[in-house]
Homo-oligomer: A and B are copies of this chain.
C-alpha cells in the first residue's frame, strides 16, 4: 500500500485543521455532499449559507413588494459593494471600485479608456499566457485601432519575469495588461515593482485581479496601481457570473473616458439629458442596468469574507498550497506529474497546477469516480484550487490521496466519451 511511504499522514492534516483559526468559517458555506472534495473555488466559489435567504428577501421585499421603487435603494449598490471590496480585499479608497458588467467587458472599457488617453503610443504589452478573454479583448482593441499587441513570453510555471517586462517597456507602450496571479501556473507578480517600471516608461498598467482578490492582500493604492478589473465569482464567492469589479485610481478617473456611453455613466442619469456628459467619479465607467439579483449575492458573500483579514486568508492559503506541493512531491511526481507552479510560496497564489499528459482524463475521472472537483486547463494541467475560507487541510490531503489512488487504479482509463462543451 502506497500510503505507508507517506510522511504526512492524514492525522497531520487533521491536526492542521484543528489548529486553524479560520476553521469555523467553513460552516458559513452550504455543503450538499460532505464527501465531495472541492478544489475549484478559483473557478466558482462555493455558496455562502446566508445567500439563499438574502436573495429570497431581495426577490420578495425588493422586487416583489417594492417593485420599481426599490431602485431608490439599488441604484447605489454597485458602488456600495465596490467600496466593501475595495476596503477589505483591494487596498483601495472609497469611490475607486464599482461592480459592473463582466470582467471581459470591464477589461474592454478600461483598456480602451487607457489607450484613448495615450494617442501617441501604439503598443500594448500583455502576458502571452494570460487568460484567453484578456488576450482576445486586447487583440480586438489592437486590431480595431491599428495598434501593436506584444505578447510577452513568460515561464509556463514561474510566470512573467520582471526583466522581460522591463526590456519591453519602451516609450511607445501605452498600456500593460497583466494578471496578478496567473490562471494557469498561479504565479504571483510583484504589483508595486511592475507599476513602478511601467510608470517610469510612462505607461499605464491594467491589472486582472480575478485569481487574487480575496486571497492575496492586494494593495492597489500603496502600490500606485492605475487600473484593475476582476471576477467576483471566484474567491469572493458572489455566485456564477456575478458582476465583476473595476478599479480606477481616484486622480485618474476624470482623465479617462470609456467607450460604452451608457446611461449608468451619465451625470444626473434620470434627467435623461440630450448629450452624454459622464459623471466625474467611478460611475463614469458603468454602462447599462446591472443584473441586480446577481449583484445582490455579493452582499452575503462579502459578509463572510469580512470575517477574516485577507492577510490571515493569505497565511492559510500559503499553508494549504504548501501542503499540496509537499503531497504532490511525495505522491504524484513519482507517478508522472510535474509541478507547474512556483515552488516559492511567496511567488504563488492560492492554487497549484500539476502537469500530466493525461490531465484531461484525470480531471474527468476525479469528478465522476472519486468525487473530487478540480479544474483541467488544456493541454495538460490539473489546477488544485484552495479557498482559505472554505478548504480544509484534510480536503487537500483527501483530494490528492484520491488522485494518487485514481492513477494507481487506472481509474481514468475507459471513461465514457466526453460530451460537454465545458472542460
Contact = CB atoms under 8 A, between A and B. Distances in A.
B30 A64 contact: yes
10 contacts: A30-B64, A32-B64, A74-B240, A104-B263, A133-B288, A135-B276, A136-B266, A140-B276, A269-B421, A270-B423
A16 interface: no
Interface stretch (A219-227, A325-333, A373-381): A373-381
Contacts of A105: 101, 105, 260, 262, 287-288
Given A104-B260, A140-B259, A297 B288 contact: no
Contacts of A103: 288-289
A291 B133 contact: no
Nearest to A31: B64
B51 A68 contact: no
Chain B CB within 10 Å, residue with most, of A70, A233, A261: A261
A114 B118 CA distance: 27
A341 to B, nearest CB: 18
Given A36-B67, A76-B421, A137-B260, 12 more contacts: A40-B67, A63-B239, A101-B105, A102-B291, A132-B269, A133-B263, A231-B289, A239-B293, A241-B291, A241-B294, A272-B377, A293-B297
A72 interface: yes
Nearest to A134: B263
B240 A293 contact: yes
Interface residues of A, number: 88
Interface stretch (A41-49, A190-198, A246-254): A41-49
B373 A239 contact: no
A135 B263 CA distance: 9
A80 to B, nearest CB: 13
B44 A52 contact: no
Contact of A273 (B33, B71, B132, B243): B132
A420 interface: yes
A378 B268 CA distance: 12
A307 interface: no
B373 A75 contact: no
Top 8 A-B pairs ranked by shortest CB distance?
Answer: A102-B288, A104-B288, A291-B294, A140-B261, A104-B262, A32-B65, A240-B292, A291-B291
A144 B119 CA distance: 12
Contact of A270 (B56, B64, B422): B422
